[in-house]
Amino acid sequence: MRNISSVLGRLAKSISVSLVLLFAVTLTSHAQDVKEGASLFKANCTACHKIDKKLTGPALAGISERHSEEWLITWIRNSKAMVDGGDATAVKLFEDNNKLLMPAFTQFSDDQIKNIIAYVKDEEAKLVQAAAAPKGGAEGGAASSDASSFMLVGMAALLLLAIGVIVVLNRVTRTLEKVIANNQAAVEAAQASNQAHEDSNKVKFAQKFLKNKKLVGFTVLLIVALLAVLGWQGMWNIGVHQGYKPVQPIKFSHQIHAGVNQIECQYCHSGAFKSKNASIPSANVCMNCHNTITASDHYNGDISPEIQKLYRAVDWDPDTRTYGDNPRPIEWVRIHNLPDFAYFNHSQHVVVAGVECQTCHGPVQDMEEVYQYSPLTMKWCVECHKKTEVNTDNKYYDQLIAAHEKLKKGEKMTAAMIGGLECGKCHY
């Protein structure tokens, strides 16, 4: 009950915030075309453009002064057609931007493109207004005060109503606290009596239990058996790291890459198809996509912090789009690690047996952070080998069949005929 005052305080804050939001919504209405332009710009343009800063494409501030509206509509809809058509301005812009072309937006109508241009002008005006705020604030304040006088009266009335409600609730709170204080002693006395009764019953039960030697012996035997089972299971699980999920230097999401974007596992882990190890991809493989994909639409136009870590590792400058001379390796933490005495060949399972990656590694396409899904024990491997059917439709088993045919004819069979010349037979 002591927390009622704090609840009322939070209620008063909520009312105040609601009034401020109402005031803000009333004063910050924009033209419909600017709102639609902002929505279209953030959904389609922020990955490559910013208003006041060069990204993949040039900064857009002053674009209306540099080009006519008709030219901009044609350029945004299909820039490649303008460059191929020999438009001088388009060709120069194409060459100045490292010969990178903007994708075509043929789905936009003229009005939608005009809305985008209006949004860019609005943002540019905000930047200019912010730079000149100390000089031009008085005139704007006088106009806004005339426009919002009615709203201020309404806010004052709502605040008075809120104060009245809070005063009434405070009086109710004091009355309830007095009632609780009068009954507190009785409640504490009842609780003390109940606790003493429970303690007495526990003592009586313990005395009866200790006098029954058979029950004591059975209980001791049961505890010993339980500890033995737990100890046996604990010893079997020594070295088993199922569920292991270390913290990685970059928060790489398999859910986004393998799940949402459906990138094949072997695009990054190419070694699984042709060697023993699946291999960890180099940072250059990541840069195949992330030299342009920066996830800036989720970070107010800025590059994602995790992608910035990748850029630092390869020493990539997104502004000049050049590599430096000081790359640093990404120190990934290994998750799946077999004992040194265990031999596992990825290519033999993936290529010959056709085993899916998820069979051992679990549903990686749903994992935000990868962890060891399977126990990777010998028992687990043996159980899989017992139920997995052998696919004999490959050259290895053709060699075995040919070797057995020679044996039937009385001819000799050499180790080379049954795969004895494969490198992996000796070189792990």
pLDDT at 244 over 90: yes
- How far apart are the C-alpha atoms of 86 and 67, rounded to whole Å? 17
Asked if 48 and 296 touch (Cβ cutoff 8 Å), the reply is no
- How far apart are the C-alpha atoms of 198 and 212, rounded to whole Å? 22
Q: What is the pLDDT of residue 13?
A: 54
- How far apart are the C-alpha atoms of 162 and 12, rounded to whole Å? 7
For residue range 117-149, list pLDDT tens digits in order.
888 888 888 888 877 765 444 444 444 444 456
Q: Which residue has 């050259």 as its token pair?
A: 395
Q: What is the pLDDT of residue 88?
A: 86
Backbone angles phi, psi at 233, to 5 degrees: -65, -40
pLDDT at 24 over 70: no
- How far apart are the C-alpha atoms of 302 and 304, rounded to whole Å? 6
Q: What is the pLDDT of residue 101?
A: 78
What Å distances lie between residue 34 and 24, 30, 37, 70, 362, CA to CA? 18, 7, 5, 18, 47
Core vs surface per residue 380-398: b (16+ CB within 10 A) or e: ebeeeeeeeeeeeeeeeee
**Percent of the chain's residues with pLDDT above 70:** 88
Assign 99 a pLDDT band (cuts: 50, 70, 90): confident
Q: Which residue has 């990825």 as its token pair?
A: 346
3-class secondary structure, 289:
helix
DSSP codes, 30-60? --HHHHHHHHHHHHHTTTT--SSS-SSS---
Domains of the chain: 31-147 (1.10.760.10), 254-387 (no CATH), 395-425 (no CATH)
Backbone angles phi, psi at 322, to 5 degrees: -135, 155
What Å distances lie between residue 336 and 113, 150, 188, CA to CA? 51, 67, 57
For residue range 338-395, list pLDDT tens digits in order.
988 888 999 889 988 889 999 999 999 999 999 999 999 999 999 999 998 887 777 7
**Largest Cα–Cα distance in the chain?**
110
pLDDT at 422 over 80: no
Which among 405, 334, 327 has a CA at the least distance from the CA of 376? 334
- The token pair that represents 323 in the structure block: 């590599």
For residue range 311-322, list pLDDT tens digits in order.
999 999 999 999
- How far apart are the C-alpha atoms of 69 and 89, rounded to whole Å? 14
Task: Read off the pTM.
Answer: 0.46
Q: Which residue has the higher pLDDT, 381 or 52?
A: 381
What Å distances lie between residue 274 and 177, 199, 270, CA to CA? 76, 71, 7
3-class secondary structure, 259:
helix
- The token pair that represents 206 in the structure block: 């313990």
Asked if 273 and 351 touch (Cβ cutoff 8 Å), the reply is yes
Asked if 21 and 190 touch (Cβ cutoff 8 Å), the reply is no
For residue range 390-410, list pLDDT tens digits in order.
877 777 778 888 888 889 998
CA 204 to chain centre: 58
H helix runs in 212-315, sequence order: 213-236, 254, 265-268, 271-274, 283-290, 305-314
Q: What is the pLDDT of residue 298?
A: 86
Backbone angles phi, psi at 157, to 5 degrees: -65, -45
Q: What is the pLDDT of residue 135?
A: 47
